[in-house]
Chains A and B, each alone.
Chain A
Amino acid sequence: MKTIVMLAGLAAVLAFGTACFQMFSSESKVEACAGLSGQALIDCENRRAE
């Protein structure tokens, strides 16, 4: 039981870490914005979303 709880906890930490990495990663999913970062990336993605 203890092992299962530990494994579940570890999995949760890993999932959380991955989600945070994805969320804060500056890498754009939009091809046209690849290589931009900061405000330029935000502006580019907004223009593409329009």
Chain B
Amino acid sequence: MPSRKAIGKVGARVTVIVTAIAVVLAAGSARAACTVVDPAHAAWSTILARWVDDGRVDYAGLQRDGQPALSAYLGTLSGACGADYEKWTRAERLAFWINAYNAFTVRLILDHYPIASIRKIGWLPGAAFRERFIPMPGLKGEVISLNDIEHATLRSAFREPRIHFALVCAARSCPPLRSEAYRSADLEAQLDDQGRRFLGDGSRNRVDSERKTLYLSSIFQWFRGDFESTGVSLASYVGRYLGPEVGDFAVRFLDYDWQLNDHNGGTSR
């Protein structure tokens, strides 16, 4: 016959185990709670409209006055879960990941601001893009990096070369950051508009009609395969935005300016 003391000990252990199970289940259900992602990404649009002008970001102002709004928006992205995601349209998924890339890049810069370039973050070249700081428990099951969004998600799963006109890596030679979020309803028009703006900006891409030569951003060199996977040459692809006459032009690539796309002219740090 077990003593009262022994029964009490067992009872205490059972209580501890039941409590532990309850905590684990509660944590599980908390993880399962999904945030509703606004398909118009209006919160991100509000931030961009206030702190982005002509593709340049007012990081100082955003750091001073916009952090709560940015954190709240990033929280809704991180809270997205797979059950909702699979009901989204392709355009909604693309807009989500493009906005996530751009918004988390801004977050990363603010975490290190003032800084002269995204390439100053970390010890090794490109460390900023490999840094795992983007919580995506519901969609990826882990904390991911900017590279995970660009290469392992957007490039591999969507095969849409125009993403390279929209992903902004916080450098001056990157495509300009729009003063509005990408929205599924307008995504096609927004991506084409980005292509026109990016290719039409003489500081990023140039056409020498006399020498029949295109001087293109390094982006076209790094991701040439993505553009040519559409079945046309690189020159023909950019001809959609620059005019079909450039389709047989020679192609050269320009150096990349990695200085921060800071509205305030950047900092020397």
- Asked if residues B139 and A35 are in contact (CB atoms below 8 Å), the reply is yes
Say whether B158 faces chain A, with CB atoms less than 8 Å apart: yes
Contact of A40 among B81, B90, B152 (CB under 8 A): B81
Contacts of A33 in B (CB 8 A): 86
- Choose among A31, A32, A40, A47 the residue that contacts B140 (Cβ–Cβ < 8 A): A40
Is there contact, CB below 8 Å, between B157 and A40? no
- Write out the residue numbers on chain A whose beta carbons fall within 8 Å of the beta carbon of B154: 35
Expressed in whole angstroms, the Cα–Cα distance for A26 and B141 within the complex equals 13
Query: Are B93 and A35 closer than 8 Å at their CB atoms?
Result: yes
- A34 x B157 contact (CB < 8 A): yes
- Residues on the B chain within 8 Å of A32, using CB: 86-87
The number of inter-chain residue pairs (CB within 8 angstroms) is 50
Contact between A44 and B90, CB atoms less than 8 A apart: no
What's the nearest-Cβ distance from chain A to residue B149, in Å?
9
- Whether A40 pairs with B141 at a CB distance below 8 angstroms is yes
Contact for A37 among B86, B93, B97, B141, CB less than 8 A: B141
Do residues A26 and B152 form an inter-chain contact, with CB atoms below 8 A? yes
In the complex, what's the smallest C-beta–C-beta distance from B27 to chain A, in angstroms?
Answer: 15
Does B82 sit within 8 A of A, measured CB to CB? yes
Q: Give chain B residues whose Cβ lies under 8 Å from the Cβ of A44.
A: 82, 85-86
Q: How far is the CB of B208 from chain A (nearest CB, A)?
A: 39
Chain B, interface SS category: helix
Please judge, given known A-B contacts A40-B82, A43-B82, whether A34 and B140 are in contact too, CB under 8 Å: no
Distance between Cα atoms of A26 and B140 in the complex (Å): 11
Within 8 A of A (CB), among B51-104: 81-83, 85-87, 90, 93, 97
Interface residues of B in 19-75 (CB under 8 A from A): none
Say if the beta carbon of B201 comes within 8 Å of chain A.
no
Residues of B within 8 A of A36 (CB): 82, 85-86, 139-140
Using A32-B86, A33-B86 as known contacts, say yes or no to A39 and B157 having CB atoms under 8 A apart: no
Point out the residues of chain B lying under 8 angstroms from A2, CB to CB: none
Is there an interface contact between B86 and A48, defined as CB atoms closer than 8 Å? Answer: yes
Q: In the assembly, what is the distance between CA of A44 and CA of B93, in Å?
A: 14
Interface residue? B175 (CB, 8 A) = no
Whether the Cβ atoms of A27 and B82 lie closer than 8 Å is: no
Measured in the bound complex, the distance between the Cα atoms of B106 and A39 in whole Å is: 28
| A40–B141 CA distance with the chains assembled, in angstroms | 7
Near B by CB (< 8 A), chain A positions 13-50 give 26-28, 31-41, 43-44, 47-48
B267 to chain A, nearest CB (A): 35
Complexed CA–CA distance, A26 and B139 (Å): 13
Interface string of A6-18 (1 = CB under 8 A from B): 0000000000000
| Among A34, A38, A47, A48, contact of B142 (Cβ-Cβ < 8 Å) | A38
Q: Does B138 contact A (CB under 8 A)?
A: yes
B230 contacts across to A, CB distance below 8 A: none
In the assembled complex, which residues on chain B have CB atoms less than 8 Å from the CB atom of A28?
A: 157
8 closest A-B pairs by beta carbon, nearest first, are A38-B141, A40-B82, A34-B157, A32-B86, A35-B157, A39-B141, A44-B86, A35-B153
